Amino acid sequence: MGKIAFVFSGQGAQYSGMGKAMYDASPAAKAVYDMADSVRPGTSKQCFEGTAEELTQTVNTQPCVFTVDLAAARALVEKGITPDCVAGFSLGEIAALAFAGMLSDEDAFRLVCKRGELMDKAARENPGAMVAVMKIAPEKVEEICAGFDKTYPVNYNSPAQTVVATTVENSDAFCKAVKEAGGRAKALPVSGAFHSPFMAQAAAGLAEYMQGVDFSEPKIKIYSNFTAKPYEGDYKQLVRAQVENPVRWQTIMENMKADGVDTVIEIGVGKTLQNLCKRTFDDVKAYKVETPDDINFD
C-alpha cells in the first residue's frame, strides 16, 4: 500500500462561511478556531461572516485560510486518517509546519499573521500583478518572462500551468505575448506579486520576526516550497525564502510520488491542489477535505 500526503491550501479560494460546517461538527476543528480567536480575536467570525472584500485582503486572508486548513486537518486525524508526509502551498506551508509539530499552533498562527501583515505592506508599497499562464511549458514561460522587465515565474504548478509575477504596467503586454506564443493567460485577482523580488521587504521582515521563534524538528516529513525537498538545514531560512522565491509545486508532487505517495488529500479551502494533482498524474488518487461530508470519501 502506498503513502498518504496531506497538502494544505493556499489563498485564492477563500469565501465567506468557509470552515463553519467543520467547526460545528468537529471538536478538534473547533479547538483550532478557539486558539485563533484567543490570539487574534474575531478570526472565526471573519471566516464565517466576512465579506468577499474583507477576506481578499492579505492581512485577513492568511490567518483565516491557515485556520480553516489546520482545523480540517485536525478533524481528519480525529476520524483516524493520518498522513505519511505533508506540504502546503504558499501560506499553506505554515499550516503544514504546525501540523508537523515544528511550531506550536499558537506560534504558527502568530507567524502567519505577521507574514500576512508584512506581505500586505510590501504589496501596497511595491505594487505588482500576477498572471496564470496555461497550455505552454514552464520553459517557454521563462523565455517569455525574460523579454520583460521585473517579470518572474513564481508558481510552477503543473506541466501546463505556471503563474507569473510582473508589474501592473507589464501585465497586458505580457498576456498578449503569451497568447502569441500559443498559450492562455489570465490575470489573477490578488493584491500583490507574491513569491517574487517584489516581496523582498516582507521576507526580510519575516526573518527578523523569526529570530524570536523556536522551531522543533518535524515529527513527519514536510516538503519545502523553496527546495521542493523535505525540510532540512536552516528551517527559518526556508520559511523566509519561500516568500520571495518561486513555489515549486510540481516538483514537490513529483518528489512525493517518487517517495511512494499514491494518495493526496488537499486540506482546507477549495480544490486547486486536488485538480493540479489530477492533471499531473494518472496514477495518484486525489481528494479534498474542507467539510465534514468530504471526510466520507471512498
Active site residues: 90, 195
Q: How far apart are CA 13 and CA 259, in angstroms?
A: 29
- The answer for residues whose C-beta is within 8 angstroms of residue 15's C-beta and 6 or more apart is 52, 55, 269
Q: How far apart are CA 65 and CA 78, in angstroms?
A: 20
3-state secondary structure of 208: helix
Q: How far apart are CA 10 and CA 195, in angstroms?
A: 12
Q: How far apart are CA 6 and CA 231, in angstroms?
A: 15
Q: Would you state the cell numbers that stand for residue 286, as one nine-digit string?
A: 486525489
CB 289 within 8 A of CB 76: yes
